[in-house]
C-alpha cells in the first residue's frame, strides 16, 4: 500500500511537521481518489539537513558502489512497471498501455543508460602538470512536473546518484503516487539514508523553500518558463547552480519534396501523443504554402482517427488532460485561434462527442495560421496542432526560429542532406530529422526561454559534477 500521507526523509517514512493535505483528482472522472500530504519549509529543512549529513559519506563512495546501487534499482524497478504505469494513467490521464510502456519505460531507460555511462565515465583526467577532477556538486533540490513524471524524476535522480550527490525531490502534486513508488524502490535497493528524500507539496511553499535554501547547492527544475523564472530569482541570492528544462513551441518543418503523407501523419500523431502534454511536442507544423490544403486534408484524416477517451478503454488513443485548469486554458486558446482567423480543420472547443465528464479535449487542428496569432506563439500543452505556410526554405527557417522558445525542432526533407541543412539552422537544443526519435544517451535541453543545462546521458551526469583543477598533481 503506497503511503501518501507521509514523506520519505533520512531513510524513513515520517509525518509532516504540520498536517495538511490535498485531494488527487482522476482527470478521466473528475473525482477525488485520495489525499496526499503537503509539506512546508519545516519539512524542507529536515530533508536538507539529512541530505547534508549524508553527503559527507555518500560523496566519497566508489564508482563500483554506485554501479551496484543503480543495478539494484534497475532490477527492483522492473518488477513495479505495471504499478507505476497504472498510477501515472490514473493521475494524469495517459492511456494505460502507453503509461506502462512509455511513461514507466522512460524512467527505467534513464536509470539503465546512466548506469552504462557511469561504468566508463572519466572522473579524472591529466592536463599538463594538473589533474582535473569532477566531483559531486553537493545537495540537489529537484522539482519535477506531472506530464512525464517518471521520465523527469529518473533523468534527475539517476545521474545525481551516479555523481555522488544527495537530494530532495518535490514531485508534482498532481502525480504523486509514481514518485512515492519510486521512493519505495530506492529504499528497497538500499540507497543510504539521507541520500534521497521526498516531500510532496506546492510550488509556492515547498518549491520556493527549496529554491531559497542556503544548504541546497543546486536546483534542477522542469516545468513552465514562468515558474522557472521564479525558481531562478529565488536561487540567485545563494548563487546556487540552476539547471532548467522549460516550455517549448517546437517547429516541425516539412520541406518541398518530402513524403507528405508520412511526414504530416507522423507529425500529427507525435503532436497528439500524451494528449499534447509534452514540452518538446511538434506543435507548429511549417509546410510549403502551396501544399497547405493537401497538408490540412492529411492532418484532418489523422485527427478523425484519434480517439479521446477513457485511459483504460480498448481503442483509446489519447486520454484527458491533467486537470480543470489545463482544460480551461486549452479551451480559451482554441477559441482564440478561431477568433483570430485561423482555419479550424478538425476538433474545436468543448468535449469530444459522447463524453460528458472528464477533462477531455477534442483533437484539434488549425490551418492557415500566421506567426502573429496567439496559438502560434503560446504553449498550448494540449492536443492542438497549428499549421503555418512558408514561401520557401528560407522563410520556413525564419518562421521556425520566430519564437522565444528553443527546446526542439523537427525536419523532414526529400533527402537526409536537405533535412540536415535546415536542421543545422534551427535554434533549438534537440533537432530530429526524418522522423528519427531522440537518442537517450544524447543531451536533452533547450535554447533561449526553454531553459539551460542538459539532461540525459553523459551531459546529464555532468550537470551534477563540479570541476576542480589540482595543479602540481602530476609534477615530477
- Residue 284 contacts residue 386 (beta carbons within 8 Å): yes
Which is catalytic among the residues 155, 173, 279, 463? 279
The whole-angstrom separation of Cα 385 and Cα 383 is 7
Which is catalytic among the residues 91, 100, 245, 462? 245
**Catalytic-residue membership of 279:** yes
Q: How far apart are the first and last CA of the chain?
A: 61
Q: Tell how far CA 152 is from the center of its chain.
A: 5
**Is the C-alpha dihedral spanning 169, 172, 173, 175 positive or negative?**
negative
**Pairing between β-strand 384-390 and β-strand 284-288 as defined by DSSP bridges:** parallel
**Catalytic-residue membership of 245:** yes
The whole-angstrom separation of Cα 143 and Cα 169 is 6
- Residue 67: CA atoms inside 13 Å, Cβ hemisphere, count? 9
Q: Cα-flanking dihedrals φ and ψ of residue 7, to 5°?
A: -110, 160
Place of cell 478538425: 346
- Residue 38 contacts residue 205 (beta carbons within 8 Å): yes
Q: Cα-flanking dihedrals φ and ψ of residue 381, to 5°?
A: 60, 45
Structure letter (DSSP) for residue 438: P
DSSP E strands in 294-383: the ranges are 343-346, 364-369
The whole-angstrom separation of Cα 387 and Cα 366 is 6
From the list 129, 326, 223, the residue with the least C-alpha distance to 232 is 223
Place of cell 542556503: 214
Strand partners, 468: 133
The whole-angstrom separation of Cα 193 and Cα 301 is 54
- Residue 242 contacts residue 219 (beta carbons within 8 Å): yes
**Pairing between β-strand 196-198 and β-strand 251-254 as defined by DSSP bridges:** unpaired
Q: Tell how far CA 383 is from the center of its chain.
A: 17
Residues in the chain: 476
Catalytic residues: 245, 279
Amino acid at each position: 500500500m503506497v503511503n501518501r500521507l507521509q514523506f520519505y526523509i533520512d531513510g524513513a517514512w515520517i509525518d509532516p511537521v504540520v498536517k495538511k493535505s490535498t485531494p488527487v483528482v482522476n482527470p478521466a472522472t473528475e473525482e477525488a481518489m485520495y489525499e496526499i500530504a503537503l509539506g512546508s519549509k519545516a519539512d524542507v529543512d529536515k530533508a536538507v539537513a539529512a541530505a547534508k549529513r549524508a553527503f559527507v559519506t555518500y560523496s566519497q563512495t566508489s564508482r563500483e558502489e554506485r554501479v551496484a546501487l543503480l543495478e539494484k534499482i534497475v532490477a527492483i524497478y522492473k518488477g513495479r512497471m505495471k504499478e507505476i504505469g497504472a498510477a501515472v494513467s490514473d493521475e494524469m490521464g495517459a492511456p494505460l498501455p502507453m503509461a506502462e510502456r512509455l511513461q514507466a519505460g522512460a524512467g527505467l531507460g534513464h536509470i539503465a543508460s546512466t548506469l552504462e555511462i557511469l561504468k566508463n565515465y572519466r572522473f579524472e583526467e591529466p592536463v599538463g602538470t594538473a589533474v582535473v577532477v569532477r566531483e559531486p556538486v553537493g545537495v540537489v533540490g529537484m522539482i519535477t512536473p506531472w506530464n512525464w513524471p517518471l521520465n523527469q524524476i529518473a533523468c534527475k535522480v539517476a545521474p545525481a546518484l551516479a555523481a555522488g550527490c544527495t537530494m530532495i525531490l518535490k514531485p508534482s502534486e498532481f502525480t504523486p503516487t509514481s514518485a512515492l513508488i519510486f521512493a519505495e524502490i530506492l529504499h528497497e535497493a538500499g540507497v543510504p539514508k539521507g541520500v534521497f528524500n521526498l516531500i510532496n507539496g506546492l510550488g509556492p511553499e515547498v518549491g520556493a523553500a527549496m529554491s531559497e535554501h542556503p544548504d541546497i547547492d543546486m536546483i534542477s527544475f522542469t516545468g513552465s518558463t514562468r515558474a522557472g523564472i521564479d525558481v531562478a530569482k529565488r536561487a540567485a541570492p545563494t548563487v546556487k547552480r540552476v539547471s532548467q528544462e522549460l516550455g517549448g513551441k517546437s517547429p516541425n518543418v516539412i520541406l518541398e519534396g518530402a513524403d507528405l503523407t508520412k511526414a504530416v501523419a507522423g507529425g500529427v500523431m507525435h503532436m497528439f501523443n500524451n494528449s499534447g502534454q509534452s514540452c518538446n511536442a511538434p506543435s507548429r507544423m511549417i509546410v510549403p504554402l502551396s501544399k497547405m490544403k493537401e497538408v490540412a486534408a492529411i492532418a484532418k484524416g489523422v485527427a478523425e482517427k484519434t480517439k479521446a477517451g477513457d485511459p483504460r478503454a480498448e481503442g483509446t488513443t489519447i486520454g484527458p488532460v491533467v486537470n480543470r485548469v489545463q482544460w480551461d486554458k486549452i479551451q480559451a486558446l482554441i477559441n482564440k485561434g478561431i477568433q483570430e482567423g485561423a482555419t479550424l480543420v478538425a476538433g474545436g472547443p468543448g468535449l469530444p462527442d459522447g463524453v460528458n465528464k472528464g477533462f477531455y479535449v477534442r483533437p484539434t487542428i488549425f490551418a492557415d495560421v500566421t506567426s502573429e496569432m496567439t496559438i502560434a506563439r503560446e504553449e498550448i500543452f494540449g492536443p492542438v496542432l497549428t499549421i503555418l505556410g512558408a514561401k520557401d526554405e528560407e522563410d520556413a527557417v525564419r518562421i521556425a526560429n520566430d519564437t522565444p522558445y528553443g527546446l526542439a525542432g523537427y525536419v523532414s526533407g526529400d533527402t537526409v542532406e536537405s533535412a540536415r541543412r535546415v536542421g543545422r539552422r534551427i535554434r533549438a537544443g534537440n533537432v530530429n530529422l526524418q522522423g528519427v526519435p531522440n537518442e537517450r544517451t544524447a543531451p536533452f535541453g533547450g535554447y533561449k526561454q526553454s531553459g539551460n543545462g542538459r539532461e540525459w546521458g553523459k551531459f546529464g551526469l555532468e550537470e551534477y559534477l563540479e570541476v576542480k583543477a589540482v595543479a602540481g598533481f602530476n609534477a615530477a
